[in-house]
Amino acid sequence: MPDLITEEIVHVKGHPKRLVVFLHGYIDSSEVIDKTITPLIDKLDDVAVHVPQSPFMCEIHPNKRQWYSMHRFDPNDDRKTVPTLKECVAFYEKMAPGYREAFEYVNPYIDNCLNEYQLEDKDLYLCGFSQGAMLATYISLMRENKIGGCISFSGIVAPAKFLLKHAKSSPDMLLIHGDEDNLVRFEALDFSKQNLQKMGCAVETYVIKGGRHRVTEDALDAAAKYLKAKFIKMAAE
């Protein structure tokens, strides 16, 4: 497959000993999420932060991007309004082809980034918001080698049934979610934690009190603390 990702924002802090890749959400862009996560980037040292832009225009907003089509699997956005988490999860299970297709073009991009800095999977940290969080989680579980860690902002593990059978590694995870999230329901946090633990992942969670569907300053603070702790631990090994 040709290199589909041709747009990115890159921050190089000092001499990069780690790589952080942050995936934007649905109806989003690298430019918007890059501005949002500036407080996180500012707290990190000796790191390269890559914020790639999806090559695909969003199906419902011509000036934004998407990693894969949501309406292909849920044309009426019913996953947001169905009464139970079980019904909601069923929609994400249908999206398995979308995750696989996105993996096929995002994963080689990540390999290229690692090669650029001569880093290994253990030095890689995948992060993402919303759809980007779901894809970051999926990729981190499906890579051949265990990565340094993954941080999900307002995401859900999907497709869970597929991943429970086919996950290739069990990276450490930090799940961040607002308890008043209006788009990806808060129950997704516990659902994701339980399923990730079944896959052998060490999981930490951080709840944003009153948090809606966005990346907040305290969420970025929690992510920075998590990453810095991981960096210190890795350096000591």
> Domains along the chain?
8-236 (3.40.50.1820)
- Taking only the tens place, the pLDDT of each residue in 175-214 is 999 999 999 999 999 999 999 999 999 999 999 999 999 9
Tell me the three state secondary structure of residue 205.
strand
* Structure-block tokens of residue 172: 């450490």
- Taking only the tens place, the pLDDT of each residue in 39-73 is 999 999 999 999 999 999 999 998 999 999 999 99
Largest CA distance in the chain: 50
Residue range 106-122: mean pLDDT, rounded:
97
Count of all residues that appear for the chain in the document: 237
- In terms of pLDDT, which residue wins out, 219 or 237? 219
